[in-house]
A and B are shown apart, each in its own frame.
Chain A
């Protein structure tokens, strides 16, 4: 076979793929139920969970008090802060590093640091003085300014009691440099992961056995179409639909829940497409293997349930015990959820996501090897 012929053969094969992908996508938008489940359903979830976890409904602020001073005054000051109802003092944080870590997870609003000279009586004056420093994360500037003004009010009360002419105690605030994620950032990446899971698995698992039962796939089997062409066409149309879902979710997250999308949109899109291709492979494997819905249902549950709850979709993984975090690190959806968060809210680039992309590549190979092996046309 010469090159010219080989090229046209491949052009024909790819034409098959794109024609199928185009019709699949078009057909998809004629199915109202499918549209509801892929576009409206994730949005409903976003509203529910965004409303639950995303907003700070409580009026108190979670702060860490790091007292570096030995003075009696500072000890009293810390004890008074503990009694203040507006501040919820986190007792297990004792260093600034720990505070940074917690702020990064979004479980701490800011840290109040009392330096070692806080409350000490300076030479030549009769009263104690000092400056409290408030550390906060980039995303929490608002909470930090509130904490600052509240603390200023507390300090102001003390000042008035001491002297009128000078203000011995002052408050200042500093950004910690960590990006600091709000609970919603975790909710968002988790829900995007959950949508990809639903989109990629529940779709093909329902439609393929149905098409087999009707004999539609069998009919395609009588043509020279190859399994890879059929798979690729489905992956493409799924990716198109998935991008629309993601666009809708991102729009709502940014406009309603004030998500700060700091990452690159193109890189985000590439990462989403890869994620869909991987997760959709699981759906192809199960749906392609099952001859009817009854065969598919139990297998789908076994495969999806661990990912649904342990990959950081609804509960952030840092809340899990260490050993469970180690295991769930390797679930296919975990790098997806982590990657989305890293790109969207921490502004990381694809080059920074080596571990995530590597794990996903490995899963793609495994998943599609299985999917090709078990696929049945009828």
Chain B
């Protein structure tokens, strides 16, 4: 597998405090890569530097062979970005917003198929303020992929979503990956990282403290003699919840 993203000794400081303290990692083409960590660990800052939104203080980041710091506009043209809280201007129809985002990349598209791909075809003529939280997340994904990017960045995509919407979003992310798009996401839900990510980097205080597949990381921990105190049930409360309320999306209208 070829490398899509190559990060070397990446640094960012805010007023003397090192938010990102010399991290290095690489993301392979076509994988779902997770950046985990508690609040303030430097996940979002790392992502924003890769997205060419924030100045890189030190080190290098290369996406698809292109240096991020030197070619920010080229980079923005080959990546799709899903911000933490998707926001769109009001009084604009979904179909118009898709056209608008395509236009931002200098492209003219038929908006309907993009909306269909995230099950929002019926809402084509609705205003974005009429969407529920989950619908907005799905719409945001469609908007981020109008230009068929090579890498898709998602910043805490499932924060604030109900279990159905979360699962639906996971499916969408997998579909994006199946289209050959490399996915990089941040989260602080470990279950999400475990089911979704091929590999994860765990960050703490601006540094990467572990980097491997979730399975391998768990194995390493168990290998160090770790034992969970509680007995592991065969199901958890979320399984009960999904069993009772179903897997279908509950989109409020």
Contacts and interface: CB of A to CB of B under 8 A. Distances in A.
A157 interface: no
A224 B104 contact: yes
Interface string B96-117: 1001110111111000000000
B130 to A, nearest CB: 13
Nearest to B108: A15
Interface stretch (B32-40, B76-84, B231-239): B76-84
B73 interface: yes
A19 interface: yes
Interface in A213-272: 214-216, 218-226
A214 B53 CA distance: 17
A131 interface: no
A55 interface: no
Contacts of A164: none
A15 B51 CA distance: 24
Given A23-B100, A224-B73, A15 B87 contact: no
Contacts of B224: none
Interface stretch (A24-32, A113-121, A137-145): A24-32
Nearest to A31: B91
A375 interface: no
B103 A20 contact: yes
A258 to B, nearest CB: 38
Contacts of A20: 100, 103-104
A224 B51 CA distance: 11
A27 B83 contact: no
A15 B106 contact: yes
Contact of B106 (A13, A214, A216): A13
A211 interface: yes
Contact of B103 (A19, A219, A226): A19
Given A15-B103, A222-B53, A216 B73 contact: no
Interface string B116-155: 0000000000000000000000000000100000000000
B88 A16 contact: no
Given A12-B106, A225-B104, A23 B77 contact: no
A317 B128 CA distance: 48
B24 interface: no
B87 A223 contact: no
A20 B104 CA distance: 8
A16 B76 CA distance: 15
Contacts of B104: 16, 20, 220, 223-225
Contact of B81 (A27, A222, A226): A222
A216 B83 contact: no
Nearest to B84: A215
Contacts of A219: 81, 83, 86-88
Contact of B99 (A23, A30, A220, A225): A23
Contacts of B87: 214-216, 218-219
A130 B100 CA distance: 78
B83 A224 contact: no
B168 interface: no
Contact of B105 (A27, A31, A211, A224): A224
B92 interface: yes
Most buried by B among A15, A215, A216, A224: A224
A31 B129 CA distance: 14
Contacts of B253: none
Contacts of B74: 224
Contacts of A30: 91
Most buried by A among B74, B85, B87, B106: B106
Interface in B191-215: none
A34 B79 CA distance: 35
Nearest to B75: A224
A23 B73 contact: no
Interface string A13-49: 1011001100100110011000000000000000000
A215 to B, nearest CB: 4
A12 B108 CA distance: 9
B85 A27 contact: no
B2 interface: no
Contact of A224 (B99, B100, B106, B144): B106
A223 B105 contact: yes
B230 interface: no
Most buried by B among A12, A31, A226: A12
B96 A221 contact: no
Nearest to A29: B91
A97 to B, nearest CB: 58
Contacts of A214: 87, 89
Nearest to A8: B106
B103 A16 contact: yes
A216 B128 CA distance: 12
A13 B87 CA distance: 24
Nearest to A19: B103
A27 B89 contact: yes
A16 B106 CA distance: 5
A224 to B, nearest CB: 4
A224 B87 CA distance: 18
Interface in B160-210: none
19 contacts: A9-B106, A15-B103, A16-B104, A16-B106, A20-B104, A214-B87, A215-B86, A215-B87, A216-B87, A218-B53, A218-B87, A219-B83, A220-B104, A222-B51, A222-B76, A222-B81, A224-B76, A224-B105, A226-B73
Across chains A and B, which 3 residue pairs bring their CB atoms closest together, nearest first? A12-B106, A19-B103, A222-B81
Given A219-B88, A225-B104, 15 more contacts: A9-B106, A19-B99, A19-B100, A19-B103, A23-B96, A26-B96, A27-B89, A27-B91, A215-B85, A218-B87, A219-B87, A222-B53, A223-B104, A224-B73, A226-B73
